[in-house]
Each structure stands twice: as structure tokens, then as C-alpha cells.
Amino acid sequence: MIYMDNAATTPVRYEVVEAMKPYYRYKYANPSGVYSFSKQVRKDIEKARTQLAQSIHANPEEIYITSGGTESDNWALKMVAQAHRGGHIVTSEIEHAAIRNTCSYLQQNGYQITYVKPDHNGIVRIESVRKAIRPNTCCISIMAANNEIGTVEPIDEMALLAKEYGVLFHTDAVQAYTNIPLNVSEIPIDFMSTSSHKIQGPKGIGFLYIRKGALTLPFVHGGGQENGLRSGTENVPGIVGFATAAQIATKTFQNRISYEIWLRNYMIRRVLKEIPDSILHGDMEKRLPNNMSFGFDHIEGATLLAMLDEQGICASAGSACSAKSHKSSHVLQAIGASENIMRGTLRFTISEHITKREIDYVVDCLKKDIYQLRKG
């Protein structure tokens, strides 16, 4: 099997599994207990929190553990909305469903939402966001990098713009976390969402970064965990596993990213040169190191995916979270892709485990399959 759908999820690293094992068998204490058995587990959680904070240059007390990106996105927007009744939120047309559907919910409950249109490469322009700001704007939420087409957004400029207008700034960094530099000590981000299973960590764990001094309101009420903001017995193995994955991803960042960019560009060149009527969605330079979204004219993407699957290749037609809806991609619609191209779009997201030989095999299969589909 050649797995090229790492934007959907990633395999858990061996080192991560090994780090998690003791917390299922030997260090199983509830961290809220008063005895030393529990206190040691509590210390391990705080050590993991520190490691996660270091990955974005934050303070440990600014890291709040969640179940992943969707919960983090919901918490950030609903917290802002709760503090600004009837307020106005600016976001983009290409956000993940966790943001879009939360905004839709808020809109149904009296909040005003402006969806800013990106350019043809999927870049949300700073002036478009500036024009959308109103006197009652309470939050700007722009993703750090798009999950479908890989475009990296200018969130440093967005955060500075929000600060200029006294508006809170949130970014969904689920795809960007440990794949591009993210330094909250240099960028005035108020809220940042992340997820473990995108970086070879376990599923069901993530964190919401909340800048010290920014808004903090409880999202889950209960026993007072996470400083009373997100109650519930901690997922200790998940927290430790996430921190281990983040440490490895941070340590290997330079070599990993350089390799992925080289491999990504190699595949892009081959596909665009050797497969007629093919295009690359998104910006060539301002894109995630591992992301390639190709549009193939006169092709049914679902049929092509099935053919690739028979040849041991895992790819996707877009976001895994919306794959069951069978609707045209809202991202491709926003950047002005034609119906033919949208139907024939496939996303390939690689990792450092993919080889050039595997890339060549995938491209050769694509050439053969697309030729057959167009021919007959």
C-alpha cells in the first residue's frame, strides 16, 4: 500500500505508541487523585503540556487540552460569541467544516458572519479582511493552511490586522501545525486549534492555545480540569502521545520539510508535464510541504480513486470530513474551479516515509488510468 492521504490522518509513530503504553497498564491513576500514584501522572501531564507549548513557543498555562481540531474550533468561536452577544465574526469561504458549521450555528442564533472570498489560488487577501471589519466585529478566524488545496495563508498579517482593530484572532492550524513555522511569541494570535492525529500522534486529542490575557470562558463544565475551562478526566495516554509526536515533529522539522518539498515538487512537475489537461490547485510556493491537489479535466474523480485503490494507492477527492456528502468542494467553488475540474480533482498528501520510487509508481498509474478513462 502507498498511503498518500496524510491530510486525512497519519499512522501513529512507534515511539508514540511506546510512550503511551505505560499509561494503559501501569500509570493508570486518575490525575485528580490526592495520593502519590495520581500526583506522578499529574506531573507527566504537565510535562507533556510544557512540551506542546514549546512546539509553538507558548507558555504551558496557555495550552488547553481538547479532543482535537473540531472541538478546539468550536470552543474558540463559541467562547468569543458568548462574550459578544450579537457580535460580528469575519472568516473565509474556504474554512474547514468545523468553522463553517459553527459559524452557521451562530448565525442562526443572532450573530453576524462575513465570509471573505479568497483569490484563485486560495489566498485570503488582507485587504479583503480589512474591508469586512465592522464596528461590532469581535473575531477574525482564518485558517493557517487549507486542508484541501494546501494554500498557506498570511496569518501573521491577519493577526496584526486584528490587533490594529482591537479584534480577537483565531486560526485553525490543524494542517499547519509542525508543517510550517508557528511562533505565537512573534505573531499576536489569540486562539489556535491543533490536532494530534495529523502529526503521527493518536486520534481524539488536540489542544486549543489561548493567549494569556485573552478571553477565557468554560466550554465543558464538570470537575474543574484544565483550569475549570474544559472539565473531564484527562486522556493521559493521548496527551503523552501527542506531546511525543510534537517533539519528534519539531526535532525533525528541517530535514522532513525539505525532503517533502523536494518530493512534492517532483511529483507536481511530472503530473503537469506528462498528463494533458491537468492543473494544480493552490499557490505553487505558498503551500504546505506535503500537499498536492490536482484537477484532471474530463475525468470522474471517484472512478479514478477506485482504480488507484485497486493498485494499492490511497488518495482522496478532498477533505475526509466531508467525503460522504457527495457535494462539490466549497473550497474549489470559492477559487472558481469549473464543474469538470471539480469532478476530476484528487488530493495527494505525502509524508517523509514516501519514496521517489513510490511517487513514480503513482504518477505512472495516474497516466495509465486517466488515459483509459478518457479513451473509453
**Dihedral, CA of residue 191, residue 196, residue 200 and residue 203, to nearest 10:** -150
Per the listing, cell 504518477 goes with: 363
CB 10 within 8 A of CB 351: yes
CB 291 within 8 A of CB 150: yes
Residues, the chain: 376
Per the listing, cell 480540569 goes with: 225
Catalytic site residues?
321
Q: Which residues contact 347 (CB under 8 A, 6 or more apart)?
A: 5, 7, 148, 149, 291, 292, 293, 294, 315, 316, 317, 318
CB 145 within 8 A of CB 153: yes
Query: For the purposes of burial, counting CB atoms within 10 Å of the CB of 126, is it exposed (0-12), middle (13-18) or buried (19 or more)?
Result: middle
Q: How far, in Å, CA of 259 to CA of 72, rounded?
A: 30
